[in-house]
Structure 1
């Protein structure tokens, strides 16, 4: 098989190939283990023997710009590791067989780090089921982009996923459910940030906006300044454009009226997302940072440009989801919300903010149907109910207790009625 026409940017060719425009043979032995994911997906992975598959660079570049960096990074991670695994095991990856996919799933049980001994999952254990599911989802997405059928729905693949989950459970490894933070715990995390540093202002604003919108961490980090619409100083519309399914949604963030009895606002000024986000945007403008990504990378040091905040804001360089995750864990640990009253560890992750938004909302009596549009769950999806980790399950909120109490009340009424007849 030969490639005709000029080589495109990102195309894999022989190092000793002739000048652009010459015939370049496509290598059939799958040597592309150094390819870092599908960032150049169309020119690299298309069937270049077909002239109709040739895509002009400006067309391809427009597609790349339309897809968020967070999505590209996920594709880079998932597809790159699959290609390297196929190369190490001598299997074909374009397209892989169902047997290869099933073997790839099972390989996560014994996948090790670079030392060849320590298991690669968190805490030196096998990879969590959610990680395997995500890795497989990325592979299926890339295969569909290449024009191949997705193996996701194959009965053998689904059965293998179930077998993997069952194997983890037999090893005593249960799925790690994110702990749903209470409003007070969320506020405590915001208050751990050093507001004398530009990074502290950014982190406090990110944590507060996260708690007020219940979005995913990747969606939060993908926000731009243009996604915020200030209706008034106390009302903000946040447009989340980067979500599952590619459907944007708008989440309203509003400050409460002061309490009628105490006169205190529900959000103290130091944890109010509207106050903190506004302060962060003002700080960026004071440092000469123009509109762009909402949350930017910050560095320690530098002059106190505004007289009180130390640190440097790196213009144009978006804060990564990994950096936010690391900051979130530090804040949870510093606030002491990563353990319960008895010192037992809690699984506090960035998803705890999403679980908190849904759980606290349902506890307050907000119907799930009103929460769905703001969290991005489809009307028929039952997934939203997995996030309801209500603390309202004891005493008057416990159905079993209420059933027994009702039975006691009925017996009392019957006894009183029988005694008076």
Structure 2
């Protein structure tokens, strides 16, 4: 079972870990009498929708790597034995793979076996013991913490942008709207014009589907007018719309030969743009990522004395502990450190 890896962020993907096998439903090798190919297509679509596109892409990549490893050792990947899984995980660790990536590989292997109706090797005690040992050996802390962007840095970035061009107005709007809204990069990239509702004091964004709202009930995020014209996210959005127009569809699109295209601007494209704009403004860009806008909103708001409840309402964190661990605690550590009082 070979997975086709996908190079385009916008290409829908249904890897083996998401495609229903007839065995998954207890049908044997053929579906029950009376089902049509259209029925099977709809079932496939429904099963694939059970996981976010980004998850399917990640599982596809991880499962493909596991298949390649198994092929190189001459052992079957489906079904895989617990010993095979243990050997592959320890080999990945020896190659310097992070603990989080190894856990992601386990999730992909589990999903593929469950989908195929095979016994799940990840649940074997030997695999659990090896995973626990690898977590202790490698450590689970992030290796490269995303660098949050501050308001001053955002101002420096957008000041360097030529907003007389369509590309410049788009990038400024993405940076300012992403920072002010604290949306995830995939949410910013996935916005449609219909998701924006202008208000006298700012705008409302309807996030149709998100990590914390997988069933797409919809969430509302408010963005107020900025205090300064050059960093006002609402003004920046109007600037982009003057170039884009008011046709329905994706709010932010890519460019084709310096002309506004029709394909959505992707999350990975957003991350690359941020790094380029940060570097152009003289800001170290090594740890800048698509998450820097959202992280920057949370840390900047906390430094300004905004309460955790308001920050969590904006970021839509369902667990305050996550907000504290990733954004507030590093900030507190710098504020309370006694190293300032050592006279060094």
TM category, shorter = 0.7 to 0.9
Of residues 391, 398, 414 in structure 1, which corresponds to 2:336? 398
Flag structure 1 segments of 5+ consecutive residues without an equivalent: 1-31, 112-125, 257-264, 301-310, 340-345, 405-421
Q: 2:143 aligns with which of 169, 175, 186?
A: 175
Q: Which of the residues 249, 256, 272 maps onto 1:292?
A: 249
**What is aligned with 1:6?**
none
Partner of 1:105: 89
Cα deviations across residues 371-391 of structure 1 (Å, max 9, x unaligned)?
Answer: 223323223654542222555
Choose 1 or 2 for highest CA Rg: 1
Paired position in structure 2 for 1:349: 289
- The one of 267, 283, 296 aligned to 1:321: 267
Which residues in structure 2 correspond to 1:6-405 (within 5 Å)? 32-33=1-2, 35-36=4-5, 39=14, 41=16, 45-47=21-23, 49=29, 51-52=31-32, 55-61=39-45, 69-111=53-95, 126-146=96-116, 157=127, 159-168=129-138, 175-232=143-200, 234-239=202-207, 241-244=209-212, 246=214, 248-256=218-226, 265=227, 268-285=228-245, 290-300=247-257, 311-315=258-262, 317-338=263-284, 347-379=287-319, 381-382=321-322, 384-388=324-328, 391=331, 397-398=335-336
Corresponding residue number in structure 2 for 1:409? none
Displacement of 1:185: 1.0
1:56 is paired with a residue of what secondary structure? Answer: helix
Q: In the superposition, relative to structure 1, how do residues 391 and 242 fare at CA in structure 2: closer, same or farther (>3 Å)?
A: closer
Verify the 8 A CA contact 1:229 1:236 in the aligned structure 2.
Answer: yes
Query: How much does 1:108 deviate?
Result: 2.5
Q: Is the 8 A contact 1:377 1:384 kept in 2?
A: no
Runs of 4+ aligned structure 1 residues displaced above 6 Å come to 149-155, 401-404
Gaps of 5+ in 2: 7-12
Q: C-alpha displacement at 1:271, in angstroms?
A: 2.5
Equivalents in 2 of 1:383, 1:153: separation in Å? 31
The answer (yes or no) to whether the contact 1:222–1:242 under 8 Å persists in 2 is no
Question: What is the Cα deviation at residue 68 of structure 1?
Answer: 5.7
- Secondary structure of residue in 2 paired with 1:252: strand
* 1: CA distance, partners of 2:119 / 2:173: 43
- Structure holding more helix per residue: 2
Residue 44 of structure 1: how far off its partner (Å): 6.4
d(CA) in 2 for partners of 1:87, 1:299: 40
C-alpha separation in 1, matches of 2:119 and 2:341: 52
How high is the TM-score relative to the length of structure 1? 0.64
C-alpha distance after superposition, 1:31-65 (max 9, x if no partner): x2354486165666442515259752244346657
Tell me if structure 1 keeps the 8 A contact 2:109–2:122: no
Task: Identify the residue that residue 10 of structure 2 maps to in structure 1.
Answer: none
- SS of 2:222's partner is strand
RMSD value, Cα: 3.8
- TM-score, normalised to structure 2's length? 0.76
Q: Quote the offset at 1:273 in angstroms.
A: 1.6
Higher relative contact order (CA 8 A, sep 6+): 2
Deviations 1:262-313 (A, max 9, x none): xxx2xx3232221222322332227xxx32222212123xxxxxxxxxx212
- What SS is found at the alignment partner of 1:176? coil
Distance in 2, Cα, partners of 1:192 & 1:151:
53
Aligned length: 325
